[in-house]
């Protein structure tokens, strides 16, 4: 067994919402102030074919404790707005004080993460009480995602189980193995096109960023205020590049580097997960119930042996699924996103050592949004792949993939082997990538805060450093610590810096190095 198609694409995963076990409370402690159930658009001057979209009035209805929901219409194809429209699902928590500063759009990452569910289920994890008092906190599902007009790639959960969890026959990297992997990817892409239709061509990040400008206008905000986590940082930086004159206060936490190639992403993330795993083992050795008793280096070698053994002899789950190295890797990286979840790694390795696959499947299922009954809570896997295939250029030349796979193993001996051959996923996608990997400068934008965590495994710190330098008005805020993303999850230094920026417009004169 080797990586699932999903996990190989995890070289680009950056999803804040799946990493908290369990998520924090879903509603604010405060009752929202009285807010109109209609949003008055800015009625700004736009092209005639965009006018019906920019002038629409949003109607809000109660949909939960202190929450309101609405749906906006957006052009399916921004180059031909009048051809067809799509739905964008919105949820908001109205500002709890009378000193309202406007709307604050929030994206949790992915791509494919549901901003709607993020705010609906985890408001206090997404933002703190200070921001909730001053802003209408607005979660939205980007195009192709969840409750907005969605990408759909399977007709039942059995098909999705097969795509994610089935073992690929043959030795890893062999001609037969690559052929089987490529064939499965081709079939998946065709299913996405058959079930989604023309929308599949237009779920790219540039189109989603244009949707955000539309949402800004119909929410009645002259400038966009935005908090983006993980992949949400690429979405926010893309917006700033497209609409620098419309930027208000933007915070990009857990940054992606928009100029990196797919292989560069693989290399940097392989190092990141390796570093995070070493940090866990160092913290674990000598503590109660730690499955590792020797050195960090020998423990890392043990993990590689476990993955190799699962390739040779997968463990059977109670539902008939087989645990191979791919699903095991997914189970490992999930707790690495957040230090508070490290105890799950103790349970995971202890169980697998005893021949018990239940913990591994539980963690992998959580990552893949798979419910206990075998259904899927959302379409995050389909959206994740569909968006990335339009955002990243692939190269499935066999010699190149084998060379890159060997380099990954050399760079990251424990996890590098799990990160190779991802190009097979998108090389035969129904639509070619529409994005060139390049730096984003966002000339003429407002000041933008870029938050980076020094040992972030999913979006390594070097990416935050790079993005902050690229942006004409970027400002780096460093959190020295573990985990993926830092705002509202690390310390008061980070929270105060972000809150003061959003509330007062205060930009740190230098990196506060929290």
User: In this predicted structure, what is the pLDDT of residue 19?
Assistant: 39
Q: Which of 12-26, 32-46, 272-286 has the lowest mean pLDDT?
A: 12-26
Band of pLDDT at residue 9, cut at 50, 70 and 90: very low
Cα angle: 92, vertex 338, 89; to 5 degrees: 20
**Per-residue tokens: 125:** 């994890």
Residue 23 pLDDT greater than 80, yes or no: no
Average of pLDDT values for 6-24?
Answer: 37
pLDDT at residue number 18 = 40
Task: Give me the domains of the chain, ranges plus CATH numbers.
Answer: 17-150+204-258+454-504 (3.40.50.1820)
Residue 426 is given by DSSP the state T
Asked whether the beta carbons of 351 and 322 are under 8 A apart, the reply is: no
Q: What is the mean pLDDT of residues 419-431?
A: 92
Is residue 40 within 8 Å of residue 59, measured between CB atoms? no
Tens digit of each residue's pLDDT (9 = 90 or more) over 268-277 = 999 999 999 9
pLDDT over 90 percentage in the chain: 87
Cα dihedral 405, 269, 280, 360 sign: negative
Cβ-based burial of 87 (10 A; exposed 0-12, middle 13-18, buried ≥19): middle
Closest of 72, 59, 116 to residue 93, by C-alpha: 116
State residue 401's pLDDT score: 93
Q: In the structure encoding, which two tokens stand for residue 248, read together?
A: 């208000």
Mean of pLDDT values over 244-266: 95
Residue 2: closest CA among 168, 216, 160: 168
44 Rama class: left (phi>0) / alpha (psi -120 to 50) / beta = beta
Predicted pLDDT at 38? 85
Give the pLDDT confidence of 330-383 residue by residue, as tens digits: 999 999 999 999 999 999 999 999 999 999 999 999 999 999 999 999 999 999
pLDDT of residue 35: 62
Q: What is the mean pLDDT of residues 505-514?
A: 98
Angle value at C-alpha 302, between 301 and 308, nearest 5 degrees = 90
Q: How high is the pLDDT of residue 7?
A: 37
Supply the pLDDT for residue 10: 36
DSSP string, 332-351: HHHHHT-GGGTHHHHHHHHH
Give the percent of the chain with pLDDT over 70: 93
pLDDT at residue 500, rounded to an integer:
98
pLDDT in tens, 303-317: 999 999 999 999 999
For residue 11, pLDDT beyond 80 = no
pLDDT in the model for residue 436: 85
pLDDT score of 25 more than 90: no
Reference 88, options 116, 46, 65; nearest CA is 116
Does the pLDDT at position 234 exceed 50?
Answer: yes
CA distance 103 to 98: 14
Q: Share the mean pLDDT of the chain.
A: 91
Span 192-212, mean pLDDT? 98
pLDDT(16) > 70 = no
Confidence label for 64 from pLDDT (cuts 50, 70 and 90)? confident
């Amino acid at each position: 067994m080797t990586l699932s198609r999903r996990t190989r694409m995890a070289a680009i995963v950056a999803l804040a919402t799946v990493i908290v076990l369990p998520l924090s409370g879903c509603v604010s402690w405060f009752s929202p102030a009285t807010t109109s159930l209609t949003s008055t658009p800015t009625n700004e001057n736009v092209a005639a074919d965009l006018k019906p979209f920019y002038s629409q009035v949003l109607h809000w209805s109660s949909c939960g404790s202190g929450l309101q929901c609405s749906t906006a219409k957006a052009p399916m194809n921004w180059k031909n707005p009048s051809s067809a429209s799509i739905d964008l699902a919105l949820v908001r928590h109205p500002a709890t004080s009378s000193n309202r500063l406007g709307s604050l759009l929030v994206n949790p990452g992915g791509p494919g993460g549901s901003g709607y569910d993020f705010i609906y289920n985890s408001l206090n994890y997404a933002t703190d009480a200070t921001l909730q008092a001053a802003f209408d906190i607005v979660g939205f599902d980007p195009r192709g995602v969840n409750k907005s007009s969605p990408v759909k790639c399977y007709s039942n959960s059995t098909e999705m189980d097969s795509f994610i969890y089935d073992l690929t026959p043959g030795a890893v990297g062999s001609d037969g193995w690559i052929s089987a992997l490529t064939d499965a990817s081709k079939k998946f892409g065709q299913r996405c096109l058959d079930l989604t239709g023309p929308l599949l061509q237009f779920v790219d990040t540039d189109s989603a960023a244009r949707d955000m400008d539309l949402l800004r206008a119909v929410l009645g905000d002259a400038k966009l205020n935005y908090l983006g986590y993980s992949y949400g940082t690429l979405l926010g930086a893309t917006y700033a590049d497209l609409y620098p004159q419309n930027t208000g206060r933007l915070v990009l936490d857990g940054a992606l580097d928009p100029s990196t190639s797919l292989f560069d992403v693989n290399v940097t993330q392989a190092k990141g997960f390796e570093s995070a795993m070493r940090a866990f083992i160092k913290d674990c050795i000598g503590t109660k119930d730690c499955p590792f008793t020797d050195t960090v280096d020998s423990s890392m070698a043990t993990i590689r042996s476990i993955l190799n053994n699962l390739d040779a002899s997968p463990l059977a789950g109670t539902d008939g699924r087989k645990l191979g190295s791919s699903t095991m890797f997914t189970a490992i990286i999930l707790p690495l996103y957040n230090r508070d979840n490290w105890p799950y790694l103790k349970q995971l390795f202890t169980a697998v050592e005893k021949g018990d696959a239940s913990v591994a499947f539980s963690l992998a299922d959580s990552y893949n949004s798979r419910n206990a009954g075998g259904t899927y809570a959302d379409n995050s896997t389909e959206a994740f792949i569909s968006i990335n295939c339009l955002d990243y250029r692939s190269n499935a030349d066999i010699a190149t993939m084998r060379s890159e796979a060997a380099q990954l193993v050399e760079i990251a001996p424990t996890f590098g082997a799990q990160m190779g051959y991802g190009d097979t996923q998108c090389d035969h996608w129904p639509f070619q990538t529409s994005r060139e990997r390049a730096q984003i400068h966002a000339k003429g934008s407002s000041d933008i805060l870029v938050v980076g965590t020094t040992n972030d495994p999913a979006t390594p710190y070097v990416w935050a450093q790079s993005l902050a330098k690229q942006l004409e008005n970027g400002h780096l805020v460093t959190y020295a610590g573990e985990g993926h993303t830092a705002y509202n999850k690390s310390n008061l230094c980070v929270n105060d810096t972000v809150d003061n920026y959003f509330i007062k417009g205060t930009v740190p004169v230098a990196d506060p190095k929290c």
